[in-house]
A = this chain, B = another copy of it.
Amino acid sequence: MNRFEVRPACAADVPTIHALIAELALYEKEPEAFVLSQEDLLKHGFGQTPPLFEVCLADGGAEGLLGMAMVYTKYSSWRGPCLFLEDLVVREPYRRLGVGKALLTEVLIMAANRGMDRVEWMVLDWNEPAHAFYRAMGAELLREWWPYRVSGSALAAYRRGPTFDTQTD
């Protein structure tokens, strides 16, 4: 690899974005948890205003796309709008060459330039290379916050019909 540039993704990049998410899901040992189609990503990220997410790509030119950072705007009730880094992926052959650092740096610049106060993300406990990388980048581990979730059939059980009275006329 000679050089790469970091640039915003466009709709034509969706097939590669889809492949990179699949690569990360496999690395995180949950390939079956990734259920979105390319059409879903196209609609959510490039077919509505504002999009539900934004992607920065590391573009290696003739070598193709080397990695990506996917972010969305979260909201802190104490600090206002912030960025959440949903995924940072670098394709296996291009790791430890500065691609991840360039992508994370771009995300931090985006947030700082928008006047945001925080960028946050989550890392799997066993992913030691990721922890070492983020510590080296100056990120703070928030060990006192524990994440909770309701999902799948447990959440679907809360689906309700309309609660207003049926109108007939």
Contacts and interface: CB of A to CB of B under 8 A. Distances in A.
A72 B121 CA distance: 16
Nearest to A79: B35
B53 A77 contact: yes
Nearest to A156: B112
Interface of A: 21, 24-25, 30, 33-36, 40, 44, 50, 52-53, 70, 72-81, 84, 86-87, 105, 108-109, 111-113, 116-126, 131, 134, 137-152, 154-160
Contacts of A159: 109, 112-113
State the copy count for this chain.
2
Nearest to A155: B112
B75 A44 contact: yes
B148 A122 contact: yes
A148 B140 contact: yes
Nearest to A124: B144
Contact of A44 (B81, B140, B145): B81
A126 B143 CA distance: 11
